[in-house]
């Protein structure tokens, strides 16, 4: 889910950037061009661009409509683990008084933290297939 939220954030940033080279054309041209650009930067395809539009619209219309996996497998959150929650809390306390959810995303993306969480790195995921 965090990755999808990051993708949506990047897409909306490009779309709302006044200096964007994707124009302010009619018929959703800027929306489409921004989504295609973001899908490309995410090393994906036009199907991802279409999903970015869908996820962003759903999130804009309802902030509780988080883009979650629809494959039917239940996911246990490691945030429920007291040790993990304590480590995240300690990290956030060391930051400035103003924090956001992206700070947590960046923290759990650190290779050493991933090892502690037993999450494979992207290279390990790619090489195991």
Nearest to 56 by CA among 24, 17, 15, 93: 15
Assigned domain for 71 exists: no
**Domains: count for the chain:** 2
CB 7 within 8 A of CB 42: yes
With a CB cutoff of 8 Å and minimum separation 6, the contacts of 31 are: 15, 53
Measured distance CA(93)–CA(108) in Å, rounded: 15
Q: What is the pTM of this model?
A: 0.49
- Quote the pLDDT of residue 69: 54
CA distances in angstroms from 47 to 7, 36, 52, 106, 118, listed in the order given: 13, 9, 9, 26, 30
Measured distance CA(57)–CA(65) in Å, rounded: 10
Q: Which domain holds residue 39?
A: 2-61
Note the pLDDT tens digit of each residue in 103-125. Answer: 888 888 888 888 777 654 454 44
| Residues 41 and 82 placed together within one structural domain of the fold | no
User: Which residue positions in the chain have pLDDT lower than 50?
Assistant: 1, 72, 120-121, 123-129
Assigned domain for 128 exists: no
Note the pLDDT tens digit of each residue in 70-80. Answer: 554 555 566 66
């Amino acid at each position: 889910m965090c990755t999808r939220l990051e993708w949506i954030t990047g897409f909306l940033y490009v779309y709302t950037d006044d200096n964007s080279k994707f124009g302010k054309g009619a018929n959703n041209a800027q929306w489409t061009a921004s989504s295609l650009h973001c899908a490309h930067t995410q090393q994906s395809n036009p199907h991802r661009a279409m999903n970015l539009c869908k996820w962003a619209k759903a999130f804009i219309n309802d902030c509780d409509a988080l883009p979650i996996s629809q494959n039917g497998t239940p996911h246990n959150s490691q945030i429920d683990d007291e040790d993990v929650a304590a480590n995240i809390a300690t990290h956030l306390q060391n930051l400035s008084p103003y924090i956001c959810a992206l700070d947590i995303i960046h923290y759990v993306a650190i290779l050493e933290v991933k090892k502690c969480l037993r999450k494979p790195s992207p290279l390990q995921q790619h090489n195991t297939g």
